[in-house]
Amino acid sequence: MLRHSFIHMPGVGPSTERSLWEKGLHEWGDCLTRRASRLCGYSMAAELRAYARESEFNLRNGNATYFDRLLPKSEAWRMYGDFRDRAAFVDVETTGRQGQDQGDITVIGLFDGRRTKVFVKGKNLNDFIDEVRKYVLLVTYNGRQFDVPVVCDLFGNIFAHMAHLDLQYALQRLGYEGGLKPIQEQLGFRRDGMLGLLDGRCAIWLWEEYEKNGNKDALNTLLRYNLEDAVVLQGLAEAVYNESTRKLPVTVPELPPVKVPKVDIPYDEDLVRRLAKRRPVFPQVEI
């Protein structure tokens, strides 16, 4: 999609970009032809040609931050098709509750499109710093307000080398409302078994149960809950990308649908049932 995009170039807004598409400039390569001057004027064609070459250079070199810096946040989804093979889908759990500070990070779950990795407080949490250096695109849900700030508070800005696609904004732009779990169900991504009964409040309790009582089943249930959130982000990102490209007057190949992988960490169903009954006693937490 990026090679079809002009909106990141100076002086090009949504209406100008659409006008360029309608005139026949469908991708950067079209700006390099002689007919570009005829279609949009010599001066504008010269500017587009320069920025098209600069954009191609950065895309070929995998510089996702170049596009993240220039694209409107509402159009960040355009990066996904070109950088999805080097994307990290990340979800964070903390001890914080709404109305209080965010607390300490307890778990960071990461999915790279092939494997899941989990980083746990008191075990290997610091390993996340080296792991995230491998990727150029960070994909989250509500990450701009929650996940990224809490991670940066702990580790510093370890995401400086990455572009960021926060799916919350992209989904809202498409008309989807609510938290991650109701939206993923609207798009056909259902949680395994009883895990749909859990929410952010339960994640806090699970950590407390593990930390205070050494309940390993509580920790495994928390890890399973967290990684379920991480892996579904890939399916949501592809759904956002495909639905968004369909609305454009240029032809962009759709990404093939992905099957959300199964997380193989066992969880305690009895514990989940007890948690579901306790949820009303906790303040609301939106993850």
pLDDT number for residue 101: 67
pLDDT number for residue 190: 78
pLDDT number for residue 281: 44
CATH topology match: 2-61 vs 80-281: no
pLDDT number for residue 179: 85
Buried b (16+ CB within 10 A) or exposed e, 18-54: eebbeeebbbbebbeeeebbebbeeebbebbbebbee
Give counts: helices (H), strands (E), the chain.
Answer: 12, 5
Tokens representing 89 are: 């889908």
Please give the single-letter amino acid code of residue 277. Answer: K
Task: State the residue for tokens 């491998």.
Answer: 134
Domain residue spans of the chain: 2-61, 80-281
Tokens representing 79 are: 């990066």
pTM for the whole thing?
Answer: 0.91
pLDDT along the chain (287 residues), means of 10: 96 94 94 89 93 97 97 95 97 77 90 96 97 98 94 97 96 88 85 77 91 95 95 95 95 88 90 78 44
pLDDT number for residue 139: 98
pLDDT number for residue 285: 44
Residue 20's contacts (CB-CB under 8 Å, 6 or more residues apart) are: 6, 12, 40, 48
Topology classification of domain 2-61: DNA polymerase; domain 1 (1.10.150)
The class (CATH top level) of 80-281 is alpha beta
CB atoms within 10 A of CB 256: 7
Measured CA to CA, the distance from residue 81 to residue 244 in angstroms comes to 12
Tokens representing 145 are: 């307000």
Give the E-state strand segments of the chain in sequence order.
Answer: 87-94, 105-111, 116-120, 137-140, 163-166
Coil/strand/helix, residue 214: coil
